[in-house]
Chain A
Amino acid sequence: MDAQALSYFHELMKIAIEVGDTRQTAEKFLVTLRQQFVFDNVAVYLQDEVTGTLEIVYARAVGRAKNAEADADWGETFASQVLAHGRLLLRDPEAGASPDDRLSQAYLLGIPLRNNGLIGGALVFVRFGGPAYEQEHRMMAALAAELLSVMFERTTWKKTHKELRDLKMQMQLQEDFVSTISHELRTPLGFIKGYSTSLLRKDTSWDIETTQEFLTIIDEEADRLSLLIENVLESARLQSKTLPLRFQPLRLDAVLRDVATRLRARYKDLAINMDLQTAQSIHGDGVRIAQVFDNLFTNAIKYAPGSPITVILHQTAEKAVVQIKDHGLGIPKESLPLIFERFYRARSEKATGTGLGLFICKQIIDAHRGKIWAESTLGQGTTFFIELPTNPIN
């Protein structure tokens, strides 16, 4: 074999095992094939897995029948014969065809194609007006069919592989959810059980401070458990869209002021700077939107203690954008895309949480057809952005 032939085969093989779009690869392959193997029309038929019928997946007229459109021979019935026989078939022009009309003198060569180890299609070459396929041509065509089969099989496997991977990921998510929720529920329960049984011990007595400390922990953990259950139920309802939202005209500046006033009553030293553009009402559920703001403020208080909070509201005719900014430690870059995921919690020494707060915020904003995201610089602080359409129904 000479170097030129080897490089030609190498090129064909390279194309056939390329990963990419089937049609484009088939095109590239057959164009390259034609450098050494002459044909006018080529058609690739694959068997439909469900119905068993042959489907045309690729066809090109490159030679004499370029302008003959549907009138030329594409070997449809011939392809079925190839499939039925399961081996290379040849068909010469019918006797009595006009020698002047090349298009009526079709020389057909068909080779079966494999799919998933079974014969599942046919590759058909057409030469109008000859020449007939010699031994060398037939071997060349068989090689081309072999390579095309590899290509189609790889495509099928790739598709199956992706399906399986997606399915596996889904199962993993579900499993993680169950394992996280059971862990999250067990933790406060474990404290309640542990500290209450400590107090109930008959073989020892605790001093008054320790008793007080244990009872406080039991009380706080019972609250945490109850909040957790409430959040789990609410996020489940939001996700299944069974939590009804009551849309009504809403002034965001008023909602933000309300939430801030409530928080100032709870946290005496809290500094909130507001830069609110007074503008038109938007359509939204006031209670839920207030819940989102409350959650973001509380997060800022929890993760950036002592830091002033800046709130900016900017509105146009179509949308409103709220920014809630703190000057805390910030969120690491790799955590930013995850903070809205269910049960995700950036590990922190002091702060406790259910890992559901931001997930619920996102569900609520999604239900308003809005967007919520965060930007953060480590050591400088975090800004949460909420974008709400003026009228989510449009």
Chain B
Amino acid sequence: MAKRILIVDDEPRYLRLLEANLRTEGYEVVTAQDGAQAVDVFSGQPIDLVLMDVMMPKLDGFGATQRIREFSNTPIIILTAKGDEQDRVRGLDLGADDYLVKPFSATELLARVRAVLRRAQPAGDVGGQSRFFTHDNLKIDFARAEVWKGEIPISLSATEYRLLLQFAHHVGKIMSSEELLTSVWGPEYRTDKEILWVSIARLRQKLEDDAHTPKHIVTRSGLGYLMPPIEE
């Protein structure tokens, strides 16, 4: 089956260039013109590889990469006009598999695409990752960074959302305060337990039916916190 590649760029001439070259190699091509559209298109169909421009309106390429990485391991190649090291490192740190600095030649582009696809697992074989996460009446749409409690949309701050993702990505695992503080706030906050307590209390206020007997984020005294597995 032909591999399907999503190309994302706000310049129609780049879309045309990439599409024309990829089609000669037998790839299927779908396009998006900004980061938000890219995440939408991506979550609507199986995609084998994403070619992502950085400077785009609405959501930029870094933001879209980060969003996609919250629920998928599909390879992403960043196309950047900025060749400086900081940008390349940022892209790779956010989960991109490779980067290509504009201007690039058509042959190099195709070689990178082949190389990344060789290393990648086929689409659909990504270990049960999906756009949506549910935990009892709680639902997360990773692609849009939206959280629902039943039918009610819940508004979370950026930090609260990142904290919730930590639990959602590790259901059934007890996470220590240090672990949570390090991954959400950064290593320099590792011992700042009160900030975590306040955030978990706020998160419970928003997500739980009864914040005193939480179902989603449970305290294990002396050990940490966890999102317990839901028994079928």
Taking Cβ atoms with an 8 Å cutoff, the residues of A that contact B are 179, 182-183, 186-187, 189-195, 197-198, 200-201, 204, 206, 210, 214, 217, 221, 347
Contacts and interface: CB of A to CB of B under 8 A. Distances in A.
A347 B57 contact: yes
Given A183-B55, A198-B20, A217-B13, A193 B105 contact: yes
Contacts of A217: 13, 16
18 contacts: A186-B102, A189-B103, A190-B14, A190-B81, A190-B103, A191-B14, A194-B17, A194-B104, A194-B106, A194-B109, A198-B20, A198-B106, A201-B21, A201-B106, A204-B24, A206-B20, A210-B20, A347-B57
Given A186-B102, A204-B24, A195 B81 contact: no
B81 A197 contact: no
Interface residues of B, number: 19
A217 B14 CA distance: 11
Contact of B81 (A186, A206, A214): A186
Nearest to A195: B17
B11 interface: yes
A204 B55 CA distance: 30
A198 B55 CA distance: 23
Contact of B11 (A187, A210, A214): A187
Contacts, number: 51
Contacts of A210: 20
Contacts of A204: 24
B20 A191 contact: no
Contacts of A201: 21, 24, 106-107
B55 A194 contact: no
Contacts of B103: 186, 189-190, 192-194
Interface in B28-45: none
Contact of A197 (B24, B55, B57, B106): B106
A191 B11 CA distance: 10
Nearest to A186: B81
Nearest to B25: A204
Interface of B: 11, 13-14, 16-17, 20-21, 24, 55, 57, 81-82, 102-107, 109
A221 to B, nearest CB: 8
Contacts of B82: 179, 183
B81 to A, nearest CB: 5
B8 to A, nearest CB: 15
A135 B226 CA distance: 66
Given A187-B81, A217-B13, A197 B107 contact: yes
B154 to A, nearest CB: 32
A134 B109 CA distance: 87
Contacts of B104: 190, 193-194
A308 B56 CA distance: 34
A194 B105 contact: yes
A190 B57 contact: no
Given A194-B14, A200-B106, A201-B106, 6 more contacts: A183-B55, A190-B14, A190-B104, A193-B104, A194-B105, A198-B21
A214 B21 CA distance: 12
The 7 nearest A-B residue pairs measured at CB: A193-B103, A197-B105, A190-B103, A198-B106, A190-B102, A197-B106, A204-B24
A200 B21 CA distance: 12
B168 to A, nearest CB: 36
A197 B21 CA distance: 10
B56 to A, nearest CB: 11
B15 to A, nearest CB: 11
B11 to A, nearest CB: 7
Of A192, A197, A217, most B-chain CB atoms within 10 Å:
A197
A339 to B, nearest CB: 18
A229 to B, nearest CB: 16
B88 to A, nearest CB: 15
Contacts of B17: 191, 194-195, 198
A26 B16 CA distance: 69
Nearest to A205: B24
Of A186, A194, A210, A347, most B-chain CB atoms within 10 Å:
A194
Contacts of A187: 11, 81
A183 B81 contact: yes
B29 to A, nearest CB: 14
Of A183, A204, A221, most B-chain CB atoms within 10 Å:
A204
Contacts of A214: 20
Contacts of A186: 81, 102-103
B28 to A, nearest CB: 17
A191 B106 CA distance: 11
Nearest to B13: A191
A182 B81 CA distance: 9
Of B11, B14, B21, B104, most A-chain CB atoms within 10 Å:
B21
A347 B10 CA distance: 11
B84 to A, nearest CB: 10
A352 to B, nearest CB: 10
A222 to B, nearest CB: 13
B167 to A, nearest CB: 39
A338 to B, nearest CB: 16
Contacts of A194: 14, 17, 103-106, 109
